[in-house]
């Protein structure tokens, strides 16, 4: 019980810290966006494009990997194509196997005894094989659709994170202090925001 209340208190404390950090960031976001950023002793103004994440998601929806190219994360394109291609490969493979067993079962129902599984697999075995390959085919399709959605989600989130402020003036660090008057120690988190 004490662990649960401790974790609840810790989560509440962290949410308070982060909510204050968000309020400070919102109140100074206009000043941060308009101020020039100094990089290698040259002034560079960092502009924020609010439509960039939606463009990246749209491009990934049209052609998987195109949103990653839009975000200039070219190393992710082979991963996306490989993941979706693997899902499609297993779908086609299971579909072909399903068709083989279904055709053999249909031929047996029609009275023919010349299918490729005649002396190897019984009629019940053909039915079970059809069910297994149909289930595998459906799972392959669901996994491929999930990987396609993950591709879109990755492009969108990556575009959001490219615009995230990772300035050195923002920091969150643990804080430990020994209080000599009370002979106790204080433990906490400090949020530093420098202008």
Overall pTM > 0.75 = no
The 10s digit of each residue's pLDDT in 39-65 is: 454 445 567 777 789 999 999 999 999
Q: What is the pLDDT of residue 95?
A: 95
Low-confidence ranges of the chain (pLDDT < 50): 1, 17, 20-39, 41-43
Other residues' Cβ atoms within 10 Å of the Cβ of residue 134: 16
Three-class SS string for the chain? CHHHHHHHHHHHHHHHHHHHHHHHHHHHHHHHHHCCEEECCEEECCCCCCCHHHHHHHHHHHCCCHHHHHCCCHHHHHHHHHHHHHHHHHHHHHHHHHHHHHHHHHHHHCCCCCCCCCCCCCHHHHHHHHHHHHHHHHHHHHHHHHHHHHHHHHHHHHHHHHCCCCCCCEEEEEEEEEECCCCEEEEEEEEEECC
The 10s digit of each residue's pLDDT in 86-96 is: 999 999 999 99
Residue 147 corresponds to which tokens in the numbers above?
């990987």
Q: What is the pLDDT of residue 191?
A: 72
Q: What is the pLDDT of residue 78?
A: 95
Q: What is the pLDDT of residue 23?
A: 40
Closest CA to 137 of 102, 103, 88: 88
């Amino acid at each position: 019980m004490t662990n649960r209340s401790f974790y609840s208190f810790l989560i509440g404390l962290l949410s308070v810290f982060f909510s204050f950090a968000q309020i400070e960031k919102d109140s100074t976001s206009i000043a941060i966006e308009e101020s020039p950023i100094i990089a290698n002793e040259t002034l560079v103004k960092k502009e924020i494009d609010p439509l960039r994440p939606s463009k990246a998601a749209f491009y990934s929806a049209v052609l998987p990997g195109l949103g990653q190219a839009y975000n200039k994360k070219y190393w992710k394109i082979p991963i996306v194509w490989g993941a979706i291609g693997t899902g499609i490969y297993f779908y086609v493979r299971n579909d072909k196997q399903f068709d083989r067993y279904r055709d053999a079962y249909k031929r047996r129902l029609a009275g023919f005894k010349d299918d490729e599984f005649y002396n190897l697999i019984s009629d019940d075995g053909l039915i079970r094989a059809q069910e297994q390959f149909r289930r595998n085919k459906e799972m392959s399709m669901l996994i491929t659709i999930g990987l396609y959605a993950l591709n879109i989600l990755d492009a969108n989130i990556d575009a959001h994170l490219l615009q995230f402020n990772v300035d050195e003036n923002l920091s969150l660090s643990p804080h430990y202090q020994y209080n000599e008057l009370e002979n106790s120690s204080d433990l906490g988190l400090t949020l530093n925001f420098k202008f």
